Amino acid sequence: MYDRPRKQMVEKFVIQAGIQDPQVIAAMQRVPRHLFVSPAMNHQAYNGGSLPIGYGQTISHPTTVAYMSQLMQITGGEKILEIGTGSGYQAAVLAEIGAKVYTIERIAGLADQTRSLLEKLGYYSIAVKIGDGSIGWNEFAPYQRIIVTAGAPAIPENLLNQLAEGGRMLIPVGEGDQHYLQIIDKVDGDIVVKQENSRNFVPLVGEKGWAE
Ligand code: SAM
């Protein structure tokens, strides 16, 4: 279902947006995005834009998902920590590329809804936890990759500590529409930070994020 609109979405919002990683392109051609948005929005799921997913939250724009997935430089088999499960779409794309994903969502009802959907779709390599992701998920650390899908006031120390040697973390830092995506590599124990262009993200709410 929706095969043609999905192909058109990938053409317009992924390939034409400059994404070249064949694994990311193939993954986004496979994941049924229409099932990750609120039912009334199914028909709009492939039009781009941030659509509602319930609980006052939104699914990320396809270009943002493609861009961040490409920056993750996954080859398969990596252990990834995602902060901000939301609809589960980003996690599903990463799982399609072959990663094992540990993902945390602070809104319990949303986490439960997404866990059921991911199970129904057979994404058994994704574990969903309810909690404050700004402090990470120490139990399964270290992670080869960490992706934060909400904007933090600063880079949380806990997350840096849970990043494996040679690993990479993506985290938007800033406020409102002034978030700068930070690409953080851990090289020989040192932290190397590169800053990308400004993008818009919802706030990371929690102990190491913004107050509620
Ligand atoms: N990755 C999601 C997707 O593919 O649909 C999009 C995520 S949405 C833009 C950001 C999510 O981060 C929201 O669901 C929000 O509730 C969640 N969030 C915000 N602060 C959080 C925190 N401290 N821990 C876990 N989740 C958090």
pLDDT in tens, 7-16: 999 999 999 9
Under a CB-based contact definition with an 8 Å cutoff, are residues 45 and 13 in contact?
Answer: no
pLDDT given for residue 175 in this prediction = 85
Is residue 145 domain-resident?
A: yes
pLDDT in tens, 51-104: 899 999 999 999 999 999 999 999 989 999 999 999 999 999 999 999 999 999
- Side-chain-side CA neighbours of residue 66 (13 Å): 27
Q: Which amino acid is at 52?
A: P
pLDDT in tens, 136-178: 999 999 999 999 999 999 999 999 999 999 999 999 999 877 8
Is residue 207 domain-resident?
A: no
The CB of 57 under 6 Å from ligand 1? The reply is yes
Tell me, yes or no, if the pTM score tops 0.75.
yes
Range of the domain at 84: 3-199
Q: Which amino acid is at 155?
A: I
| 92 CA to centre of ligand 1 in angstroms | 14
pLDDT given for residue 196 in this prediction = 87
Is residue 170 domain-resident?
A: yes
| 148 CA to centre of ligand 1 in angstroms | 8
pLDDT of residue 198 exceeding 80, the answer is no
Under a CB-based contact definition with an 8 Å cutoff, are residues 132 and 212 in contact?
Answer: no
Is residue 208 domain-resident?
A: no
